Amino acid sequence: MPAADLTLLNLNLLYVRYLEGIDRELHVPLGCLYLTRALEDAGYVVDFRDYQLNTFDEPFLPDRIVEFLHDPAPVIGFSVMANLLPFALLAMKEVKQRYPDRFLVLGGVGAKAVEEQIMTRFPWVDAIAVGEGERTGPELLAAWQAGADLRQVAGLVVRGPDGQVVRTPRRERIRNLDALPLPAFHKVDLPRYQGYGLMSTRGCPYPCTFCSVAPVWDHDSTFRSVDHIIAEMRHLHEQAGVKMFLFQDEFFVCNKPKVMAFCQKLRETGLPVLWKAFGRVDLTDREMMETMAAAGCVELRFGIESGSDRVLQLVKKGFTAEQAIARVGEAVQIFPRVDAFYVWGFPFETMEDFHQTVFQMVMLRKMGARILPSLLCLLPQTELFRENRERYPLDFSPSLFPEYMITGHEISHLSHFQVAPTHRPIYEFIQEHPDIFPGFFHMDLANNVLPKLKILKKFGFYPEDRELSGTDSCGAHSPRTTAAPGLATRVAETTTTAG
Ligand code: B12
Ligand code: SF4
């Protein structure tokens, strides 16, 4: 095999830590495989390494990455989300020390909106790729191999000759997603993965102020055709026996005629597959949901966010609490499982707002929905963070990271939580750079977060006991089948109501 041009490391992981145990859900590394395919089509050899497959007992030590990356190509790409950004940056430092001649590129959504700070403070990062990689990746490699000036490549943040940090012109979004070939599935052993995510769209046009999906895709949405999506499902079913798919994009239901056409065509293929999707309460209706269920959709997930109309308005959600109750009430009669996601801990959410939310959560739980509350995560690209950062001081409490940061779910085990001595450098690093890692901080811990958490626990939404909570992840992306034992819900009281 010819020498690789690029070693690409996937650090997009879903690890859930329950006390001392770590539950790993292996998801097909979609973004990296799209990028790999584009690089291969441009003639480059990619040495792809998926850190989800590491076998370390303790994977979150920077020198483990050096070990995992033994003998890397001249350019090393790191793909990362915000949760592992601190760890990834510390690991990149070690990689640079071990391989000073390698060119280190950070990509993925994790660095979005904090690229300049990262490039200014961490000299071991050589470049950051911003946005879609299918065009930026090959152009970056071509320019780097030719010794050309990287400032000519769109979609990067790099350093100029005198060390100043430069953002190159914005990379235009790929408009025709159907022109993209399938991700480089041949690079992975598909049956090893539990999660077969698909993206039917890229981006979301809604303005929800707390959410990073719209900003990481520059508030611009692009769509695949029904035939293109079904071709991917057919490929994965025939090549890897995949029977359960998960539409990862929040905007699957954006266009009713298209959803109806998708369901009809999928049924016509006769593929024996099941699937799960996200839906917005105001974009779905009974007819659409029944058609989806008849075409194999076994789970619909709604971002409800709050039971308070005041909060829904403040976060620009675009629907009311009443609409949410009505839609979920219909959905639970149609699908084996319905998820209701909530965000709590908005700094402007009064206790009265919060009580309305808890009331609604209890009501939907009674109806049979699975309730998935998440503590607000202050991602730096969001409007909510920008608008409120001066208003509220950032509090740091490692036992209360929003549940998905670092290894997930520490919040569930507040009373047991202790920072492992091996992780201490990561926590110290986070505290040194709150503007880069705001997701690990809170606005008003004492009056906002802690009293609300206490109430959620009282109603069984954050059980302390592993037996009660099961080993399910936050459920945001869970690919496993609806009937899998222990996955009914992580809300103790509802284990028998949903599914
Ligand atoms: C699928 C998915 C996952 C999968 C990832 C599967 C995998 N192994 O890749 C899993 C299930 C693991 C996952 C987990 C999490 N996710 Co997630 N996830 C998504 C989702 C739905 C789609 C991502 C995707 O596949 N995009 C499609 C591909 C094409 O895009 P991409 O991955 O960004 O890759 C492109 C570019 O970024 C670029 N690129 C990527 N890497 C590199 C590297 C280099 C070198 C270069 C040049 C370019 C490049 O090229 C790619 C092709 O264009 C997005 C939401 C969304 N709609 O975007 C959230 C999202 C990415 N997730 C998010 C988060 C926060 C998480 C979690 C941390 C928490 C959570 N509740 O979801 C957890 C991790 C928890 C844990 N405890 O470890 C946030 C990220 C926010 C941020 N700023 O980082 C998003 C945006 C959703 C949100 N709620 O806001 N997630
Ligand atoms: S919360 Fe959902 S609808 Fe709102 S911007 Fe994010 S993905 Fe779009």
Q: What percent of the chain has pLDDT over 90?
A: 76
- Calculate how far, in angstroms, residue 33's C-alpha sits from the geometric centre of ligand 2: 24
Nearest protein Cα to ligand 2, atom 6: 211
Residues in the chain: 499
What does the domain layout of the chain look like in residue ranges? 6-167, 177-495
- Please give the pLDDT value at position 421: 83
Beta strands 6-10 and 75-79, pairing class: parallel
C-alpha 449 – ligand 2 centre gap (Å): 23
Residue 2: CB atoms within 10 Å? 6
* Ligand lying closest to the C-alpha of residue 306: 2
Nearest to 485 by CA among 471, 497, 475, 474: 471
Residue 317 DSSP one-character state: -
CA distance 444 to 370: 28
**Residues in Cβ contact with 55 at an 8 Å cutoff, skipping those fewer than 6 apart:** none
Which ligand 1 atom sits closest to the C-alpha of 106? Answer: 45
Q: Which of 112, 200, 201, 206 to mutate to test the pocket of ligand 2 (most atoms within 8 A of CB)?
A: 206
Q: What is the model's pLDDT at position 410?
A: 47
Ligand 2 binding pocket (C-beta < 6 A) is 204, 206, 208, 211, 213-214, 250, 280, 303
Query: Which H/E stretch holds residue 6?
Result: strand 6-10
- Taking all residues of the chain, what is their mean pLDDT, rounded to a whole number? 88
Q: How far is the CA of 3 from the centre of ligand 2 (A)?
A: 42
Query: Does the beta carbon of 27 sit less than 6 angstroms from any atom of ligand 1?
Result: yes
Residue with token string 């690991």? 91
250 lines ligand 1 (CB under 6 A): yes
Ligand closest to 224 (CA) is 1
Question: Model confidence over 68-95: pLDDT tens digits?
Answer: 999 999 999 999 999 899 999 999 999 9
Distance 484 CA to ligand 1 centre (A): 25
* Cβ of 82 less than 6 Å from ligand 1: yes
Mutate which of 247, 248, 315, 342 to test ligand 1's pocket (most atoms within 8 Å of Cβ)? Answer: 248
Whether the predicted pLDDT of 432 surpasses 90: yes
The residue that leads in pLDDT, 202 or 469, is 202
Q: What is the pLDDT, as a whole number, of residue 258?
A: 95
Domain 6-167 -> CATH class: alpha beta
Q: Which of 131, 106, 205 is nearest to 436 (CA)?
A: 106
Give per-residue pLDDT as tens, 122-139.
999 999 999 999 999 999
128 lines ligand 1 (CB under 6 A): no
CA atoms within 13 A on the CB side of 157: 19
**Does residue 305's CB lie within 6 angstroms of at least one atom of ligand 1?**
no
Tens digits of residue pLDDT in 31-75: 999 999 999 999 999 999 999 999 988 888 899 999 999 999 999
Q: So what's the pLDDT on residue 479?
A: 40
pLDDT in tens, 239-266: 999 999 999 987 788 899 999 999 999 9
Any ligand 1 atom below 6 A from CB of 380: no
The pLDDT assigned to 3 comes to: 95
Tell me, rounded to whole angstroms, the distance of Cα 292 from its chain centroid. 24
Helix (H, G, I), strand (E, B) or coil at 165: strand
Predicted pLDDT of residue 485: 28
Residue nearest to atom 8 of ligand 1 (CA): 29
What pLDDT does residue 220 have? 92
CATH fit for domain 177-495, picks 3.40.718.10, 3.80.30.20, 3.40.50.2000, 2.10.109.10: 3.80.30.20
Give the closest ligand to the alpha carbon of residue 135.
1
% of the chain residues with pLDDT over 70: 87
Counting ligand 1 atoms within 8 A of each CB, the residue from 18, 40, 60, 81 with the most, and so the one to mutate, is: 81
**pLDDT, position 490:** 26
Gap from CA of 28 to ligand 1 centroid (Å): 11
Q: Which ligand sits closest to the CA of 219?
A: 2
Whether 105 lines ligand 1, by a CB cut-off of 6 Å, is yes
What stretches of 335-444 show up as alpha helix (H) in DSSP?
A: 351-367, 383-388, 424-432
Cβ(109)–Cβ(428) below 8 Å: no
Q: What is the pLDDT of residue 398?
A: 78
Task: State residue 416's pLDDT score.
Answer: 61
| Closest C-alpha residue for ligand 1 atom 64 | 81
Least confident of 163-167, 315-319, 378-382, 465-469: 465-469
pLDDT at residue number 24: 74
Q: Is 477 in the pocket of ligand 1 (CB under 6 A)?
A: yes
CB of 264 closer than 8 Å to CB of 227: no
Residue type at 14 in one-letter notation: L
Any atom of ligand 1 within 6 Å of the Cβ of 35: yes
Mean pLDDT across 235-239: 94
Please name which of 31, 51, 105 lies closest in space to residue 74, comparing C-alpha atoms.
105
Q: Phi and psi dihedrals of 310, rounded to 5?
A: -60, -45
CB 335 within 8 A of CB 296: no
Residue 326 sits at φ, ψ, to 5 deg, of: -65, -45
Nearest protein CA to atom 32 of ligand 1, as residue: 31
Ligand 1: residue of 12, 103, 180 to mutate (most ligand atoms within 8 A of CB) is: 12
pLDDT (average), residues 222-247: 95
Residue 250 CA, closest ligand 2 atom number: 7
- Which residue matches tokens 């029977």? 243
pLDDT of residue 413: 53
CA pair distance 103, 52, nearest whole angstrom = 23
What is the per-residue pLDDT across 375-431, written as a single tens digit (0 to 9) for each? 899 999 999 999 999 999 999 987 776 655 555 444 545 556 677 788 889 889 999
Judge if the beta carbon of residue 30 lies within 6 A of ligand 1.
Answer: yes
Mean pLDDT (whole number) for 198-218:
94
Q: Which ligand is nearest to the CA of 318?
A: 2
Mean pLDDT to the nearest integer, 432-455:
94
Among 213, 284, 301, 323, which residue has the most ligand 2 atoms within 8 Å of its CB, making it the best to mutate? 213
Q: Please, what is the angle between helix 30-41 and helix 133-145, to 10°? A: 50
